[in-house]
Amino acid sequence: MIPVENKKVVIVGASSGIGKALSHMFSDKGAIVYLVSRTKEKLEAVQKELKGKSYVFTMDMLNDSSVEETFEKIGHFDYLSISAVADETKLMSPIKSMSNTIAHRGMEKFWGTFNVTRAASKYINQDGAIVVTSSISIYRPSKNGASIMNAASAAVATYSKSLALEIAPVRVNIIAPGVVGTGVWTEQEKESYKEWGKNTLPIKHLGKPEELAYAYYSTLTNPYMTGSIISVDGGLTMI
């Protein structure tokens, strides 16, 4: 295993789901974790659970000056993970009746990824790495109003490959999650996806945040990976 002790790891979206699981994983292995999202209380609750050294930074990834200030404060660092999004499933709408507001908000995940990686590129160490979050929907588009959500994930993936070329030797990889039991779903939706996972997916269960976090950890620490899109979907694309 590549040692991560005392590596500085910035996790945007650390207060919930995949980002929270990844924060635990790096902290358990001795990394210094920078927990980032919009809500101080949620981040402090995660911080209390961590064994190692960590810092809390509140930042809205859609506010470019807040993003620039945060990275200026953090300074040089080694690894960056972005798994932040808000209201994603609430912004679904059929194309014919989609308002401009919904259409533009649907691209927030892309703009957040852009703002964060632009600021981070100035401070990341040359042997460092970035992992961003797309979705399995880039291969298997979900329907029922998900067109802009799917397009945002495709934009994240293609932008991040260009970024990988532009800021090399810093590595940039992309994770394409399938359905995972995280904060993007209501408790009721999670329950119904649990049943769906058990009955439909080849691996017979809904994805867990920790199962995704393994993939994020491994792409960040593997020195020979860059520009890759990794599907972690329980076999969803095969069925």
Ligand X SMILES: NC(=O)c1ccc[n+]([C@@H]2O[C@H](COP(=O)([O-])OP(=O)(O)OC[C@H]3O[C@@H](n4cnc5c(N)ncnc54)[C@H](OP(=O)(O)O)[C@@H]3O)[C@@H](O)[C@H]2O)c1
Q: In sequence order, which residues have a C-beta less than 8 Å from that of residue 162 and are 6 or more positions away?
A: none
Phi-psi region of 17 (alpha: psi -120 to 50; beta: other; left: phi over 0): left
Residue 50 is a binding residue for ligand X (CB under 6 A) = no
Contact between 106 and ligand X by CB under 6 A: the answer reads: no
Q: How far apart are CA 140 and CA 6, in angstroms?
A: 39
Q: Looking at beta carbons, which residue is closest to ligand X?
A: 17
Q: How far apart are CA 18 and CA 188, in angstroms?
A: 19
Which CB atom, from 128 or from 209, has the smaller least distance to ligand X?
209
Shortest distance in whole angstroms from residue 66 CB to ligand X: 9
CA distances from 127 to 53, 72, 185, 225 (A): 22, 19, 35, 12
Closest to ligand X by CB, 13 or 128: 13
Does 15 interact with ligand X (rule: CB under 6 A)? yes
How is residue 97 annotated by DSSP? G
Q: Residue 57 pairs with which residues in a beta bridge?
A: 36
Q: Is 6 exposed, middle or buried (0-12, 13-18, 19+ CB in 10 A)?
A: exposed
Among 19, 106, 128, 197, binds ligand X (CB under 6 A): 19
Nearer to ligand X, 16 or 226 (CB): 16
Residue 62 interacting with ligand X (CB under 6 A): yes
Cis? peptide before 169, omega within 30° of 0 = yes
Q: In the numeric block, which tokens belong to residue 61?
A: 């990834």
User: Nearest distance from residue 169's CB to ligand X, in Å?
Assistant: 26
What DSSP state is assigned to residue 207? B
18 touches ligand X (CB under 6 A) = yes
- Using the rule CB under 6 A, give the single segment among 1-9, 47-55, 71-79, 176-184 that binds ligand X: 176-184
Nearer to ligand X, 2 or 38 (CB): 38
The nearest distance, CB 52 to ligand X, in angstroms, is 19
Asked if 184 is part of the footprint of ligand X (rule: CB under 6 A), the reply reads yes
* Binding flag, residue 150, ligand X (CB under 6 A): no
Q: CB of 156 within 8 A of CB of 134?
A: yes
For ligand X, the closer of residues 87 and 127 by Cβ is: 87
Place of tokens 């500085």: 8
Kindly state whether residue 219 participates in binding ligand X, applying the rule CB under 6 A: no
**Does residue 109 belong to the site contacting ligand X (CB under 6 A)?**
yes
Interface contacts to ligand X, rule CB under 6 A: 12-19, 37-39, 42, 59-62, 83-86, 88, 109, 112, 133, 135, 177, 179-180, 182-184, 209
